[in-house]
A and B are shown apart, each in its own frame.
Chain A
């Protein structure tokens, strides 16, 4: 139990779960209210959680455990990393419900129930302390997402829903086999214990690959990313937000929670696999994004590129890389979520995602244009926005390991600027030539209420990232110490061997300079 005197994590799971059941039985308007209320209650609970989180205290806090089941137990608990991702989920959920307020008119109760179920499962994934409980939450997310895409999605929704489901299922099942092996070997299902168990190096390779199959698909990494553009394009706006905002973080969370600390040697062995795929992803998907005509597809491809920055940061094996990867995840969750909302705003007005159908929106939708610009810049990684902090740290981290990887991945920022600014130019600038575009009203109060909080947090994270880094600092330290024994030798350190501490600092400085020059 914790200082609060009640099992807050279970409560956070119970509130949306109960609300989901209620939503199935009430009329549409009530269902919307119930869903909004439940997600707001969860947000408040999340804030209480954050306020009470003891930074620098025990590694695992708010721990609760009940041996309810035969082979595994209802064990929940969070560290700083989980806390931040839970905060991201509970922050985005009310926004998702708000985004669907008018866009969804059919089967509202079931829709809201599916979203609330998603929330339960996402919080569950981040809070689970039992490896099988984690798997159940991790896998169960397929069901509501399949239904969300399939029932409320676009024209090609059936293909997209199948692809999403089968791709991610195939990725995950092998992980289950690996989990069985680990539990048999270590004799426990408790994640904190498993984190400190040293698996034989020979077995680590196979275990790592099994986990990789799952997380790479979820992440998604090139070349198994192809489900993402389809799923994003066909999903309703709120579905895309939750997909980009939280579901893509499951892969990164998996790497940081399982692959790295449990199999440090194997992670080091496969570092070039990760770097290779990530480099391809950054360059290739950015180029693909550049030629898209569909707004959602463009942002989907940009997500793949951003997630590649996460993976290189994670596998840099140093503090900057790990912290950077976490901030990129948080930042991308907010920014891509906001970008999908921005797309949703104009999609609701014109019912097309074709970029060429728009143009000149800064004239008749100034407020929209400003917010869209902010998120565009945040996506590019402009200093002062959240995107900069994460990408800078990640690239700095990976620079210590390999300057080549850093070089290639940094081009992603230039390409990112390319496709995002190009998108922005085509949508917001130019003349208002089309009559239907001319008739589009600016943001409504509801839409402002959805986008403004995200904008505030994006700036907060950009200006004072310490608020978000502080809870994670100890956990990153623990993780860094855990994987230190397998740390690959970086080329940067080889050159600067004489005075490592100072050299690293100088590097940071230089790199910063380059960054500014873009």
Chain B
């Protein structure tokens, strides 16, 4: 037993837990007055945790990673990289939320705290190497997320989104838990590495069922087809800053968790789960693209876009190779930048009374009234569609390259051909903004400087300039992927 080392390993979560509990008291006694301060302090805590995660990622001290709490938790470069992404997304969410929420009188002290609680849960998800820790992390994240979805109490859509998310999320958790219990029953252990060893000489039918149920539960969390139905409704109903959060951080956490489970717990069983992932990946790409075509609400459209993109990330996973995992990690990173950017652009769309503009026809001619914003959104759309030279192409480039290397040629060919379907609706957004006559619904004087700064930074990242970073990103992604496959 080495508690001091263990506490050091979980430092990011520790910082967040202690500060969020302290903040909870602070907000409870401080009331409405301290809301702003609570946001600032939450961001500070997240920044501190990010700094620790960054140190773990780049420092030499724990380059091999280390286990804590009797193999329940692992600190490694994969987890640290994912945490950086998660905390980054949470920080962006907290920075852009207050202005939007205050205008709708939905800002309360618990809002930043819930985001931080969710971040703790997600940090646990990406670092856990035991089914129990997985479940605790997942539920901590989910419970915070259910409340966040319905935080705008006056808004019926928000309450509906929260309820839907909760009911379906609980169902998914149940499925996941059932799968876990089967796995435990048939392998006699809850630790990832133990499961792998138990299945090293063949998988029993019961464990196979367990695997399928676990994957179904995870597919719900990453909103992959066929468990994607909740996504458009929740994304549309939840307040936009919350949607921004949902589309970025929890996605990263759930995908990272899926990656770790597949690579470690089911590491030797590649041929068993590969076909499931291939099916889910292609289904997500095609349905995510086709479903988006008829959507008039930008948030719904972006929800389908996230389903579509998850499909591409899963192609990287389907290869069951380090190269594929590395590609998926890079894709995830670029995806977070693109999705944060697009949602921030949506946040920026308000009419003259400050109401949110969410319908596509209402942003017609945006390129004339808000050229900068339109250009940024157009870049995010082209990038999400994976059109070079924007950086979104590079993510697709890597996962498809990995798929070809792994000899999954039909998957690669089908997947990339289906990406053309997706291009259609991304083009529609650009068409509306650039080709249609202006409707002047979007106000030109409601510009939030903090949003525009972040949008500019993200747009610069996904512009061709991003390629200059690809060597550095690739280095850490390869490192993270190696950490994932250490047991094989």
Contact = CB atoms under 8 A, between A and B. Distances in A.
B65 interface: no
Interface string B409-420: 100110011011
Contacts of B409: 177, 181
A147 B435 CA distance: 8
B69 interface: no
A70 B388 CA distance: 16
A132 interface: yes
A140 B389 contact: yes
B401 A139 contact: no
A70 B470 contact: yes
29 contacts: A68-B467, A68-B468, A69-B467, A69-B470, A70-B470, A70-B471, A71-B401, A135-B388, A136-B393, A137-B389, A140-B388, A146-B427, A150-B435, A151-B435, A161-B431, A162-B424, A162-B427, A165-B427, A166-B420, A166-B424, A173-B416, A173-B417, A173-B419, A174-B417, A177-B404, A177-B413, A180-B401, A184-B404, A184-B405
A184 B404 CA distance: 8
Given A69-B467, A136-B393, A140-B388, A176 B416 contact: yes
Contacts of A107: 368
A157 interface: yes
Given A69-B467, A176-B397, 19 more contacts: A71-B401, A71-B474, A132-B397, A135-B388, A139-B387, A140-B388, A140-B389, A142-B387, A150-B434, A162-B431, A166-B420, A169-B420, A173-B416, A173-B417, A176-B416, A177-B400, A177-B413, A180-B412, A181-B409
A170 interface: yes
B389 A165 contact: no
A181 B435 contact: no
A273 interface: no
A173 B397 CA distance: 11
Interface in A139-177: 139-140, 142-143, 146-147, 150-151, 157-158, 161-162, 165-166, 169-170, 173-174, 176-177
B423 interface: yes
A70 B467 CA distance: 8
Contacts of B368: 107
Contacts of A157: 435
A180 B400 contact: yes
Interface in B81-125: none
Nearest to A106: B368
Interface string B333-365: 000000000000000000000000000000000
Nearest to A150: B435
Contact of A169 (B397, B405, B423, B474): B423
Contacts of A71: 397-398, 401, 470, 474
B404 A165 contact: no
Interface of A: 68-71, 107, 110, 132, 135-137, 139-140, 142-143, 146-147, 150-151, 157-158, 161-162, 165-166, 169-170, 173-174, 176-177, 180-181, 183-184
Contacts of B427: 146, 162, 165-166
B382 interface: yes
A158 B435 CA distance: 8
Interface string B472-486: 011000000000000
B416 A69 contact: no
Contacts of A70: 470-471, 473-474
Interface of B: 367-368, 382, 387-389, 393, 397-398, 400-401, 404-405, 409, 412-413, 416-417, 419-420, 423-424, 427, 430-431, 434-435, 467-468, 470-471, 473-474
A180 B404 contact: yes
Contacts of B435: 150-151, 157-158, 161
A69 B387 CA distance: 18
Residue among B382, B388, B401, B431 having the largest count of chain A Cβ atoms under 10 Å: B388
B270 to A, nearest CB: 19
Nearest to B468: A68
Given A69-B468, A140-B389, A170 B431 contact: no
A207 to B, nearest CB: 11
A69 B468 CA distance: 6
Contacts of A158: 431, 435
Contacts of A68: 467-468, 471
Contacts of B405: 180, 184
Contacts of B367: 110
A176 B399 CA distance: 12
A170 B388 contact: no
Nearest to A117: B389
A161 B435 CA distance: 10
A412 B400 CA distance: 42
Given A151-B435, A177-B409, A143 B420 contact: no
A150 B431 contact: yes
Contacts of B474: 70-71
A107 B401 CA distance: 39
B119 to A, nearest CB: 29
Nearest to A139: B388
Contacts of A183: 401
Nearest to A206: B409
A99 B119 CA distance: 57
B404 A169 contact: no
A112 to B, nearest CB: 15
Nearest to B435: A150
B291 to A, nearest CB: 18
Contact of A177 (B387, B393, B416, B430): B416
A218 to B, nearest CB: 15
Nearest to B473: A70
Residue among A110, A136, A137, A166 having the largest count of chain B Cβ atoms under 10 Å: A136
A173 to B, nearest CB: 4
A329 to B, nearest CB: 24
Nearest to B398: A71
A176 B420 CA distance: 13
A150 B417 CA distance: 24
A210 B400 CA distance: 15
A202 to B, nearest CB: 13
A169 B413 contact: no
B431 A174 contact: no
A157 B437 CA distance: 13
A170 B420 CA distance: 6
Nearest to B372: A24
Contacts of A140: 387-389
A29 to B, nearest CB: 18
A256 to B, nearest CB: 22
Residue among A158, A174, A180 having the largest count of chain B Cβ atoms under 10 Å: A180
Nearest to B423: A169
A223 to B, nearest CB: 18
In the A-B complex, list the 3 residue pairs whose CB atoms are closest, starting with the nearest: A180-B404, A70-B474, A136-B388
Nearest to A149: B435
Contacts of B471: 68-70
A136 B467 CA distance: 11
A142 B386 CA distance: 12
A161 B430 CA distance: 11
B481 to A, nearest CB: 14
Residue among B389, B400, B417 having the largest count of chain A Cβ atoms under 10 Å: B389
A277 B405 CA distance: 34
A136 B389 contact: yes
Contacts of B400: 176-177, 180
B422 to A, nearest CB: 10
Nearest to B382: A143
A158 B474 CA distance: 39
Nearest to B330: A70
A107 B433 CA distance: 14
Contacts of B382: 143
A313 to B, nearest CB: 30
A438 B440 CA distance: 42
A183 B409 CA distance: 14
A139 B389 CA distance: 8
